[in-house]
Amino acid sequence: MPGRNFLFVPGPTNVPERILRAMDRAMEDHRSSAFPTLTAALLHDLKQVFRTATGQAFIFPATGTGGWEAALVNTLSPGDRVLAPRYGQFSHLWIDLAQRHGLRVDIIDVEWGEGAPAARIEEILSADTQHEIKGVLIVHNETATGVTSDVAAVRRAMDAAAHPALLYVDGVSSIGSIDFRMDEWKVDLAITGSQKGLMLPAGLGLVCASPKALAAREQAKCPRVFFDFGDMIKANATGFFPYTPSIPMLYGLRESLDIIFEEGLDNIFARHHRLAEGVRAAVRAWGLKLCAKAPRWHSDTVSAILVPEGFNGADVIDVAFRRYNLALGAGLARVAGKLFRIGHLGDLNELMLLGALAGAEMAMRDVGIKLTLGAGVAAAAELYRSTAAPLPPRPAAAPSPDAQQPGAGKPATPRAAVRA
């Protein structure tokens, strides 16, 4: 099919040309004396993305799932209790991973479409007077349902209970796109992946650990080799890795961080919120609803859109892909078939999203969902137009080259006069 595939799943996201060019390079010796220049700067600059002054960043050749595992096995021991709300597929999978490592997980089942229940967390931690619970696991942005939880509220709940548990946060689809404050919220383990807000291909699992988390490592007994913080700390101190890193991904990460710092994190968060508001305006214009139960749960990186009763979201996704070359996210687990998802994070702008909304409208009409073509696109376009930043001053026109020559501006001598 001619033209570009419109990639609007909530990850992997579009990779900017700058990053692709940065990654397209010959291999080099990752043990050379020059290599630490790259590594040291990356580990330092990643802390700005996590918004921490005291945390220590780790880069694993893995994914966000690897980050989950690294965070748990470096700070806990088999048999330790952790508290984990389950409100989507990714919180469910993190719980499953913890259980496979022999951890005892106290699960708080929450209706899918809602986020982490801070009040319930406070109640449970307050009752744990012996402090048997060693950690609280929170998925900041649940991509399966398009729900963002209030991590600051969870921290307030933990503090109100005066509980020393570590706070683990999955920021895979939030960090670099949605406001995240590791130090301010006293997050102990923050996890993300390269393929979302960092605008890279999948392949890096990134973890940032607080001093409290690093201290817990000394007593942790979960087996670990590939994900051992200790090995990383020792090798990273000299600018190297304990095993061969993904060199192209590291150069891509360097370019990604440069792009992020050029725009500024606060500007990135504002852009994502504005773009998401346009999608939400489109959903209202279609007469549909989001999976997120209330505006306070709305995600700025992915919208999970419920299809009407009697329709299958998978059919919308299939038609969008095969007929219009548009990739939309599927409903997962208990919401399979009930919705489709539009990912709106990373490297994107208004016109890119308007194209995705147009394709979604056509696919929905094609499967029989009654809506007015153009309604959602018009609603989003009006929001984007009305909230656009003021136009910058038009640049002054540069003088033409002729204006720099002697005699410029004088009437031309007639050709006949020259011949005479």
pLDDT tens per residue across span 36-47: 999 999 999 999
Question: What digits encode the pLDDT tens for the residues 305-320?
Answer: 999 999 999 999 999 9
* Number of neighbours of residue 364 by Cβ within 10 angstroms: 26
Query: Where does the pLDDT of residue 368 fall: very low under 50, low under 70, confident under 90, or very high at 90 and above?
Result: very high
Burial of 76 (0-12, 13-18, 19+ CB in 10 A): buried
Q: What is the mean pLDDT of residues 161-178?
A: 98
- Please check whether residue 170 is in contact with residue 94, taking contact to mean a CB–CB distance below 8 angstroms: yes
Q: What is the separation, in whole angstroms, between the first and last Cα of the chain?
A: 64
Q: What is 39-97 written as a DSSP string?
A: HHHHHHHHHHHHT-SS-EEEEESS-HHHHHHHHHHTT--TT-EEEEEE-SHHHHHHHHH
DSSP assignment, residue 300?
A: S
* Number of neighbours of residue 112 by Cβ within 10 angstroms: 24
pLDDT reported for residue 138: 98
pLDDT reported for residue 375: 98
Own/partner contacts of 41-49, CB < 8 Å, gap of 24 or more, are 41/254, 42/250, 42/253, 42/254, 42/257, 43/236, 45/257, 45/261, 46/206, 46/208, 46/257, 47/208, 48/257, 48/261, 48/265, 49/175, 49/176, 49/198, 49/257, 49/260, 49/265
Task: Give CA–CA dist 301/176, Å, rounded.
Answer: 10
Q: How far lies 357's CA from each of 272, 275, 348, in Å?
A: 16, 12, 13
Query: Where does the pLDDT of residue 413 fall: very low under 50, low under 70, confident under 90, or very high at 90 and above?
Result: very low
* Number of neighbours of residue 207 by Cβ within 10 angstroms: 30
pLDDT reported for residue 416: 41
Residue 73 pLDDT exceeds 60: yes
Asked if residue 269 and residue 241 are part of one domain, the reply reads: no
Asked if residue 364 and residue 271 are part of one domain, the reply reads: yes
pLDDT reported for residue 402: 62
Give the domain extent around 275.
265-386
Asked if residue 274 and residue 258 are part of one domain, the reply reads: no
Task: Give CA–CA dist 274/386, Å, rounded.
Answer: 11
CATH number of the CATH domain containing 381 = 3.90.1150.10
pLDDT reported for residue 414: 44
Q: Across all residues in the chain, what is the average pLDDT?
A: 95
Decide if 12 is inside a domain. no
- Please check whether residue 70 is in contact with residue 76, taking contact to mean a CB–CB distance below 8 angstroms: no
Rounded percentage of the chain residues whose pLDDT exceeds 70: 95
Asked if residue 294 and residue 252 are part of one domain, the reply reads: no
Asked if residue 323 and residue 193 are part of one domain, the reply reads: no
Asked if residue 186 and residue 92 are part of one domain, the reply reads: yes
Omega before 392 within 30 of 0, i.e. cis? no
Decide if 332 is inside a domain. yes
pLDDT reported for residue 2: 87
Handedness of CA 218, 219, 222, 223 (dihedral sign): positive
Residue 397 pLDDT exceeds 90: no
Asked if residue 194 and residue 88 are part of one domain, the reply reads: yes
Rounded percentage of the chain residues whose pLDDT exceeds 90: 92
Residue 401 pLDDT exceeds 80: no
> SS3 of 29, please?
coil
Decide if 153 is inside a domain. yes
Asked if residue 281 and residue 225 are part of one domain, the reply reads: no
Query: Where does the pLDDT of residue 412 fall: very low under 50, low under 70, confident under 90, or very high at 90 and above?
Result: very low
pLDDT reported for residue 167: 99
Of 222, 238, 262, at which residue does a domain stop? 262
pLDDT reported for residue 399: 73
CATH number of the CATH domain containing 75 = 3.40.640.10
What is the amino acid identity at position 226? F
Asked if residue 275 and residue 258 are part of one domain, the reply reads: no
Give the orientation angle of helix 313-324 with respect to helix 350-366, to 10 degrees: 110
Decide if 316 is inside a domain. yes
* HSE, side-chain direction, 13 A CA sphere, residue 36: 8
Asked if residue 60 and residue 77 are part of one domain, the reply reads: yes
Asked if residue 119 and residue 58 are part of one domain, the reply reads: yes
Decide if 6 is inside a domain. no
Q: ∠ at Cα 22 (16, 26), nearest 5°?
A: 140
Give the residue from 236, 194, 241 showing the smallest Cα distance to 214.
Answer: 236
Decide if 75 is inside a domain. yes
- Residue 365 CA to chain centroid, in angstroms? 30
Of 238, 262, 286, at which residue does a domain stop? 262
Decide if 409 is inside a domain. no
Decide if 294 is inside a domain. yes
What kind and span of H or E run contains 34?
none
Asked if residue 165 and residue 58 are part of one domain, the reply reads: yes
- State how beta strands 189-193 and 205-209 pair: antiparallel
Say whether pTM exceeds 0.95.
no
259: left (phi over 0), alpha (psi -120 to 50) or beta: alpha
Task: Give CA–CA dist 7/384, Å, rounded.
Answer: 20
Task: Give CA–CA dist 112/1, Å, rounded.
Answer: 37
Residue 244 pLDDT exceeds 90: yes
Domains identified in the chain, total number: 2
